[in-house]
Structure 1
Amino acid sequence: MTAHAWFLVAVLIAAVALLITLINSRLKLHPFIALLVVSVLTGLVAGEKLTDIPTSIISGAGGVLGNVGITLALGAMLGRLLSDAGATDRLAELIVSRGTARSFPWMMTLAAFVIGIPMFFEVGLIILLPFIFGVAERIKRTRPDSKPYVLVVTPAIAALATLHGMVPPHPGPLTSVSGLHADLGKTIIVGFVCAIPTVILSGPVFARWLSRRMTVEPDMALVAQFTHPASVEDSAAPGAGVAVSGFHRGPGATERTSPIAWAVACILLPIVLMLAQSIGQVFLAAKSPALQVLELLGNPVVAMMCGVLLALLTLARFKPGEQVRSAVGESLKPVVGILLIIGAGGAFNKILVDSHIGDALSQAAQHWQLNVLILGWVLSLILSTATGSATVGIVSATGMVAQMPAAGGDPWQVALLVIAIGAGSIGLNYVNHAGFWLVKESFGMTLGQATRLHTTVQTLVSVIALGMVLLLSLLV
């Protein structure tokens, strides 16, 4: 480690501390502004060329908005169309009527686990938002003293994060499988064996404990898109801190409700398309026409667009066209702030990458004398934390450990190394991750609340998964 490398590590620590200070101090800067300010200062102090800093900010923000932002906007549209057609309300009623307060976290875990198999974390959360809002509000109607959002959000985060980082066909684990020449079948088996207990412990079990210690109340304007609470204007007014007690049809909503089967089809279509793409990448030839079609339709933006179009063609026939168009436009208003914050988070990520702070952290980790499974986990954890991307953490850590002798040993041990690297990429998901801000803003949390819930859950997933990997390494 050179003195300059240690200096860059110190710059990262100072940047995160400054960001927290700007958001929580008397200035109370909006996270969008705070992220941009810290991005510029970090680039300056880290020694990035003055002319490169604006390029890093623009490309970083543009990259994450192009990837996550469009999908988020389409997800908001789909959620609003399902809500206005009465579909979300009926689906939530179906879930609640068949479960109990004790079973709701488990039901959300199962839903998020299935959705998380083909989807990125952010995309899966966007699709689950209507269910989370709908189920939580219905629980509050029957049990006003409960804290339903923590109960249902925690398992969703745990399941989505676990699948995103640890189990193929997600791009990070698939890249690690290729780089380490691991057996894909063995890796998938090991991944699910590690993922199931990890999700259970960090999801519904931890949710029960955490729900007794914190309360989350989302913005009523965003909740209204999916639940149509009575007197939306009153509930969204300044000072309104109590959630609505039930579901009522909003202004302009039709009393006719759409068939629930069509609602399920609209939700499942993007999932099926993305899953088909992932399966095709495993079993089809690289340049086959069929794979090219699947890669087009399975792209998250195109897949979500197909879901929205299906909703427009089927569910929207229960409302006049003018009302449908108005609903689609209105659906974007509550997510504008989220989009800006996610974009600024992407800018911060790019500054960290372009200023070589991630490289400095990886140099420090390589000097540690660790078991290769633990080393892969540590490298991925550090790089993911530094760059704000689980996929970047996985890809970079894979390249670092690929030349180590232990990386080319027993096929089961190599598969475990893939999972260990993926598990490391999940932990310490904090302010430079787009997913952190998506969760924080979607559920109206303060920075401290988001840290206690989102960062803690993902770090718990990472640590438990590493424990499972080390346990299995003794058995295979």
Structure 2
Amino acid sequence: MEPVQGSMLLIYAVIAVAALILMITRYKIYPFLVLIIVSLLLGLAVGMPVGTIVKAFETGNGNTLGHIAIVVGLGTMLGKMMAESGGAERIATSLIGWFGEKHIHWAMMCVAIIVGLPVFFEVGFVLLIPIAFNVARRTGKSLLLIGLPMVAGLSVVHGLIPPHPAALLAVQAYHADIGKTIAYGLIVGVPTAIVAGPLFALLIHRHIKLPEHNPLAAQFIASAESNAPRELPGFGITLLTILLPVLLMLLGSWADLLFTPHTTPNDLLHFVGTSDVALLIAVLVSFWTFGAQRGFNREQIQKFCADCLAPIAGITLIVGAGGGFGRVLMDSGISQQIVQSATSAHISPLLLGWFVAALIRLATGSATVAMTTACGIVAPIAAAGGAQVQPELLVLATGAGSLIFSHVNDGGFWLIKEYFGMTVGQTFKTWSLCETIISLLGLGLTFALAAVL
């Protein structure tokens, strides 16, 4: 069979996504199976060599799980220890006390922006979701009202504000000033997070009814269901344990400033600053702060770790399959066709950066891949065009584009769907729409900033 070329690739991609959504929502087929089936059929339909279709899916699945599985597993263990010790309850109680129940969604956005700065979206999510579950339970409010501001805050810093890894790569590609980028990123990012987070959550949570029972939420608040009074861990030690991986990752990003590159101290900081190692250290520390210090013995701690992993097995498989689907889109030539379509349009560098990143995001599902790939495409075009556009604003426009409309080929889509207990349709109406608001408003505010500067 001859490979499909040109715009027909885009048509096949649209058909594949539509079929995937229909099979999951209308016919209630398990998403993991649907993602495999649609990925294989898409590869066959566009004429990929038969021998490479399965390999492409396995590669995408493996690449995604190589990071996500470890992060979700270690993050879930940390969350479980925090829940069993009462740490999540302590943080929830303190936030409610400081902000009041009426304004708790603002607190969740602020915490997410702080925690999300040095870490990938998935890491920040697994660190904060136990707190969101506990705040929702204690206030009796919808998890959407608590959780959407949290994921909006994480997403904004993921795409717009260094020292987040994706934004930092864009700063380097465009030769932007990091100080200005951070300042402009906050000017654009904070209002964007406010609209897409607390304000959007206030509007949408009334129209989305989540299931009464969420088995994942039960993992993180089970200990709080007991009526027996107990002493909770201190706020300081709880916060330190939760933020330990964040602090370690910050140290890793500063390693070259603190020590000469390729020296032992420098290499050690880079090592402990990787997300996997930082989370592992935090989990081991939690065995003492949330475990031994709270009176739990070794057998109980081991049981907590074993029990919390079973509910995330399905999520992990679905997230990996989403990565496999994204890889088939790339290896089939669909992603390249999207890029070619974008670069042939004669538009302003800011809009081009946003547009290319948005199309790659839609095709691959990864904001990081979209941002880094778009930078490589747009940077020479912007330089050759001679347009007087500040490189810091190009970073923001590209970052905003990389966040648009998370859908079925994005691991984050399935992560949020499963943890929030939503259907695919509800996830589109909440998370996907939240991401689109961030992307469009981020672009609009970047243009407004460009007009002022």
TM above 0.5: yes
Are 2:161 and 2:186, in contact at CA under 8 Å, matched by a contact in 1? yes
Once the two structures are TM-superposed, the CA of residue 406 in structure 1 deviates from its matched residue by 5.0
Once the two structures are TM-superposed, the CA of residue 39 in structure 1 deviates from its matched residue by 1.0
Q: What SS does structure 2 have at the residue aligned with 1:309? A: helix
Q: Counterpart of 1:311?
A: 286
Q: Counterpart of 2:269?
A: 294
Are 2:90 and 2:233, in contact at CA under 8 Å, matched by a contact in 1? no
Instruction: Please give the TM-score of this superposition, normalised by the length of structure 2.
Output: 0.94
Once the two structures are TM-superposed, the CA of residue 404 in structure 1 deviates from its matched residue by 2.2
Q: Distance between the aligned counterparts of 2:398 and 2:261, measured in 1?
A: 26
Q: Distance between the aligned counterparts of 2:229 and 2:54, measured in 1?
A: 48
Q: Counterpart of 2:378?
A: 401
Does residue 202 (structure 1) correspond to residue 196 (structure 2)? The answer is: yes
Cα deviation 1:337-365 (Å, max 9, x = unaligned): 11110111111111111112110011111
Does residue 222 (structure 1) correspond to residue 216 (structure 2)? The answer is: yes
Q: Counterpart of 1:463?
A: 440
Q: Distance between the aligned counterparts of 1:325 and 1:466, measured in 2?
A: 47
Cα deviation 1:267-314 (Å, max 9, x = unaligned): 010110112222335776553443322221111111111110001123
Q: Counterpart of 1:123?
A: 123
Q: How does 1:54-453 map to 2 (within 5 A)?
A: 54-140=54-140, 147-217=141-211, 219-228=213-222, 247-249=224-226, 255=230, 257-280=232-255, 286-317=261-292, 318-405=295-382, 413-453=390-430
Q: Which letter maps to 1:159?
A: G
Instruction: Please give the TM-score of this superposition, normalised by the length of structure 1.
Output: 0.90
Are 1:219 and 1:443, in contact at CA under 8 Å, matched by a contact in 2? no
Q: Distance between the aligned counterparts of 2:33 and 2:417, measured in 1?
A: 16
Are 2:61 and 2:322, in contact at CA under 8 Å, matched by a contact in 1? yes
**Which of 437-446 and 219-228 deviates more?**
219-228
Judged with a 3 Å threshold, the aligned counterparts in structure 2 of structure 1 residues 131 and 408 are, in CA distance, closer, same or farther, namely: farther
Does residue 25 (structure 1) correspond to residue 26 (structure 2)? The answer is: yes
Q: Which letter maps to 2:132?
A: I
Cα deviation 1:186-227 (Å, max 9, x = unaligned): 222211211111111111111111122223347532112221
Judged with a 3 Å threshold, the aligned counterparts in structure 2 of structure 1 residues 327 and 44 are, in CA distance, closer, same or farther, namely: same
Q: Distance between the aligned counterparts of 2:199 and 2:256, measured in 1?
A: 35
Q: Distance between the aligned counterparts of 1:281 and 1:256, measured in 2?
A: 42
The count of residues paired between Structure 1 and Structure 2 equals: 449
Q: Distance between the aligned counterparts of 2:382 and 2:130, measured in 1?
A: 48
Once the two structures are TM-superposed, the CA of residue 148 in structure 1 deviates from its matched residue by 2.4
Are 1:407 and 1:414, in contact at CA under 8 Å, matched by a contact in 2? no
Once the two structures are TM-superposed, the CA of residue 25 in structure 1 deviates from its matched residue by 2.3
**Which of 409-418 and 82-91 deviates more?**
409-418
Cα deviation 1:9-32 (Å, max 9, x = unaligned): 111101101101110223x11000
Q: Counterpart of 1:232?
A: none
Once the two structures are TM-superposed, the CA of residue 379 in structure 1 deviates from its matched residue by 0.4
Structure 1 or 2: larger helix share? 2
Q: Distance between the aligned counterparts of 2:124 and 2:164, measured in 1?
A: 12
Cα deviation 1:349-404 (Å, max 9, x = unaligned): 11111112110011111222211101110100000110111111112211221122
Q: Distance between the aligned counterparts of 1:177 and 1:221, measured in 2?
A: 41
**Which of 459-468 and 173-182 deviates more?**
173-182
Does residue 472 (structure 1) correspond to residue 449 (structure 2)? The answer is: yes
Identity of aligned residues (%): 36
Q: What SS does structure 1 have at the residue aligned with 2:101? A: coil
Once the two structures are TM-superposed, the CA of residue 409 in structure 1 deviates from its matched residue by 6.0
Q: What SS does structure 2 have at the residue aligned with 1:441? A: helix
Q: Counterpart of 1:37?
A: 37
Q: Distance between the aligned counterparts of 1:201 and 1:291, measured in 2?
A: 40
Q: Distance between the aligned counterparts of 2:263 and 2:370, measured in 1?
A: 30
Are 1:408 and 1:414, in contact at CA under 8 Å, matched by a contact in 2? no
Q: Counterpart of 1:12?
A: 13
Once the two structures are TM-superposed, the CA of residue 412 in structure 1 deviates from its matched residue by 6.6
Judged with a 3 Å threshold, the aligned counterparts in structure 2 of structure 1 residues 53 and 422 are, in CA distance, closer, same or farther, namely: same
Once the two structures are TM-superposed, the CA of residue 166 in structure 1 deviates from its matched residue by 1.3
Judged with a 3 Å threshold, the aligned counterparts in structure 2 of structure 1 residues 224 and 357 are, in CA distance, closer, same or farther, namely: same
Q: Which letter maps to 1:458?
A: E
Once the two structures are TM-superposed, the CA of residue 408 in structure 1 deviates from its matched residue by 8.0
Where structure 2 has 5 or more consecutive residues not aligned to the other structure, the ranges are none
Q: Counterpart of 1:235?
A: none
Q: Distance between the aligned counterparts of 1:218 and 1:455, measured in 2?
A: 23
Q: Distance between the aligned counterparts of 1:424 and 1:78, measured in 2?
A: 33
